[in-house]
Amino acid sequence: MSISKHIIELLHKHDCVIIPGFGAFLTKSIPASHYNNVFSPPKKSVTFNGMLKENDGLLANEISAKENISYNASLKQIKKEVKALLSSLKSDKVEIDNIGVFQLNTEKKIQFQPNKDANFDSNSYGLESFTRNPRKIDDSKEKIKTLSIPDYAIKYAAILILLIGISSISYISFDDYQNGQKVESLANAQKKILQNVQTATFDLGEYSKINIPIKKSITPYNSNSIYYSVIAGSFRSMDNANNKLKSLIKLGYEASFTSINPKGLHRVAYARLQNRNEAVKLIARIKKEKGSDAWLLIEK
């Protein structure tokens, strides 16, 4: 597939990439692990769900931006690739480089076998699994040695420990004395500062009167208002929805989220307007200037 490079790039950034009319690739994070002395770095594996076919705009927008073509042209390219893929599956397996292999089972349903060597975790780029054998220790070669200490050495050691203890007590006492002097000096300094603050006077003069104009209060939100939302796309992943929202805001649209649709998808709107004619004009302008798909949602 000529669009596979775009799919791979998106899988490094997103948890869900939908191919409209075919299905969705989903990634799952797997922590670092070891088995039989083989240590493996963290990775993100990929699975496939043939039920998620609705276009969320992510892949089409990626192709449009990278290949410098219109949104509608990118949709046509995806549709062409999917048609060729489904046709090839009728007679043989189809492998998508660095992603996995597709084939039809006896019930003519799509089965997916992921590429086990593929890792979509960007933080683990360049890391590979390695084997480390445990270090062997020969206990038979270790010998326990006993040390004979004469009685006079024990006596001298006891005297030395006693002298060290007396010296430590003297040092600690002197150190405590120094700390006590520092605390007392600090307390006196704080007391002096407090006295200076209490006796100080401040002449701030007189302030001139300031007239602050009070604007009319803003009309509160009316929960009964009808909004005409110009929808840019619906997304199952909240990350994808946020990315779409940010891209529309950068283009100058007053973009926002609308209510979640019955299928649980997050809808992103170019704008939410209270005038139907303005919404219709905005849809026409988007299709004419951007070549992008947009539709009207009435929210009550």
pLDDT digits (tens, 9 = 90+) for 262-291: 888 999 999 999 899 999 999 999 888 877
Whether the CB-CB separation of 26 and 16 falls below 8 Å is answered with yes
User: For residue range 224-248, what is the model confidence (pLDDT) as tens digits?
Assistant: 578 899 999 999 999 999 999 999 9
The pLDDT > 90 percentage for the chain reads 27
Q: In CATH, which of 3.40.605.10, 3.30.70.1070, 2.60.40.10, 3.30.70.270 is domain 227-299?
A: 3.30.70.1070
The structure tokens 């070549």 sit at 291
What pLDDT is stored for residue 200 in this prediction? 42
Q: Which amino acid is at 55?
A: N
Q: Collect all residues with Cβ–Cβ distance below 8 Å to 110 and sequence separation of at least 6.
A: 23, 48, 50, 89, 102, 103, 104
Q: Look at residue 150 in the predicted model and tell me its pLDDT.
A: 63
From residue 221, give the alpha-carbon distance in Å to each of 190, 196, 273. Answer: 55, 55, 14
Q: What b/e string do you get for 256-273 counting C-beta neighbours within 10 Å, with b at 16 or more?
A: bebeeeeeebbbbbbbbb
pLDDT tens over the chain, length 300 residues:
788 889 998 988 898 999 999 999 999 888 877 666 677 778 788 999 988 888 889 998 999 998 999 999 999 999 999 999 898 988 888 888 889 999 988 888 899 999 888 887 777 655 666 677 766 665 555 544 455 566 666 666 667 776 666 555 555 555 555 555 544 554 444 445 444 434 444 444 444 444 544 333 333 434 457 889 999 999 999 999 999 999 999 988 989 998 888 888 999 999 999 899 999 999 999 888 877 788 898 887
The domain locations on the chain are: 4-131, 227-299
29 sits in which H/E element: strand 23-30
Residues 102 and 288: their CA atoms lie apart, in Å, by 38
In this predicted structure, what is the pLDDT of residue 155? 65
- What pTM was estimated for this model as a whole? 0.43
- Asked if 17 and 6 count as a contact pair (C-beta separation under 8 A), the reply is no
Q: How far apart are CA 273 and CA 228, in angstroms?
A: 5
Q: Identify the pLDDT of residue 267.
A: 92
Q: Are 226 and 299 in contact (CB under 8 A)?
A: yes
